[in-house]
Amino acid sequence: MARTKQQQPESNPSLSIKSITKSSVWDIQENDVFRMWEAALKDAEVKESIQHYVDIFKSAFLFEEIKDESAPVKKSYEKRGYKVATLKFEENLKFTWAIKKRPIVRVTDLTYENIRHISAAKLLEVIDRNFGGGWDSLSQSIQDVILSGFDISTTTLPKDRLHKKGGMYEKKVEDGFEVLEIPKGGWVEAIFAKLKPEQEKLRMQFAKSESDDDLENDDEDVVVEDNYSSHDDEDDEVQDPNDDEITEDNYSTMMDLGSDDPDEEAGELIDFSDE
Distance, CA of 255 to CA of 270 (rounded, Å) = 7
pLDDT one-digit tens code per residue, 257-273: 344 444 444 445 667 76
pLDDT higher than 90, residue 182: yes
Q: Where residue 251 falls among pLDDT bands split at 50, 70, 90?
A: very low
Distance, CA of 157 to CA of 136 (rounded, Å) = 15
Q: Where are the alpha helices (DSSP H) in 16-110?
A: 30-39, 44-48, 50-58, 71-79
User: Is the overall model pTM greater than 0.85, yes or no?
Assistant: no
Q: How many helices (H) and strands (E) does the chain have?
A: 7, 7
Q: What angle do CA 17, 146, 174 make, to 5 degrees?
A: 105
pLDDT higher than 60, residue 203: no
pLDDT one-digit tens code per residue, 69-101: 889 999 999 999 999 999 988 777 888 999 999
pLDDT (0 to 100) of residue 12: 58
Distance, CA of 99 to CA of 64 (rounded, Å) = 6
Q: What share of the chain has pLDDT > 90, as a percent?
A: 52
pLDDT (0 to 100) of residue 268: 55
Q: In what order do the strands lie in the sheet containing 178-184?
A: 178-184, 187-195, 150-158, 270-271
pLDDT higher than 60, residue 59: yes
- Per the prediction, the chain carries an average pLDDT of 77
